[in-house]
Amino acid sequence: MSVVDANVVLRYLLDDHAELSAKAAAILEQQTVTLPIEAACEVVYVLQKVYVVTREEIQQLLTGLLNEALVNMEKPELFLKALEYYGSSTLDFVDTLLCAYHTVERQAVFTFDNKLNQFIQRAEQSSNPL
């Protein structure tokens, strides 16, 4: 099994470097690779902070990578839920991952972050039918 780093994914998504973007496309389109969640977090951060890509577009781009099977992930359902939360909130991506661990895997999240606690409570309420 092979893993890719954030730079390969960024060059593929942004298609901003003739040589490296072509190499990234060859890797993702012709190999079976895994994108570690840690590297995916870096992709989200760089897209948002350096390239000023909107949250919704980041959600679409990374969801597309998974849906098109260009990358594998250890916990794709967790990552997709985090992207969903990220696209519809103002939380940073790591916080949306924590919320996804709670809603997808039913893990308790201990935090002093009131904003995160409130988001987790709202997510829990919306996922529990009355």
pLDDT tens for the chain, 130 residues long, are 899 999 999 999 999 999 999 999 999 999 999 999 999 999 999 999 999 999 999 999 999 999 999 999 999 999 999 999 999 999 999 999 999 999 999 999 999 999 999 999 998 888 765 4
Type of residue numbered 104 = V
Q: Are 52 and 115 part of one and the same domain?
A: no
Q: Are 22 and 60 part of one and the same domain?
A: yes
- CA 45/CA 69 separation, integer angstroms: 22
Q: Are 56 and 104 part of one and the same domain?
A: no
Number of domains, the chain: 2
Q: Are 92 and 48 part of one and the same domain?
A: no
pTM for the complete prediction? Answer: 0.91
Other CB atoms closer than 10 Å to residue 16's CB: what's the count? 10
Q: Are 67 and 4 part of one and the same domain?
A: yes
Domain extent, residue 29, equals 1-74
Q: Are 34 and 67 part of one and the same domain?
A: yes
Q: Are 86 and 50 part of one and the same domain?
A: no
Q: Are 12 and 61 part of one and the same domain?
A: yes
The domain that holds 51 is classified in CATH as 3.40.50.1010
Task: Read off the tokens for 44.
Answer: 């989200």
The residues near 66 (Cβ < 8 Å, ≥ 6 apart) are 73, 76, 79, 80
For residues 2, 6, 12, 14, the Cα torsion angle rounded to the nearest 10 degrees is: 180
Q: Are 22 and 54 part of one and the same domain?
A: yes
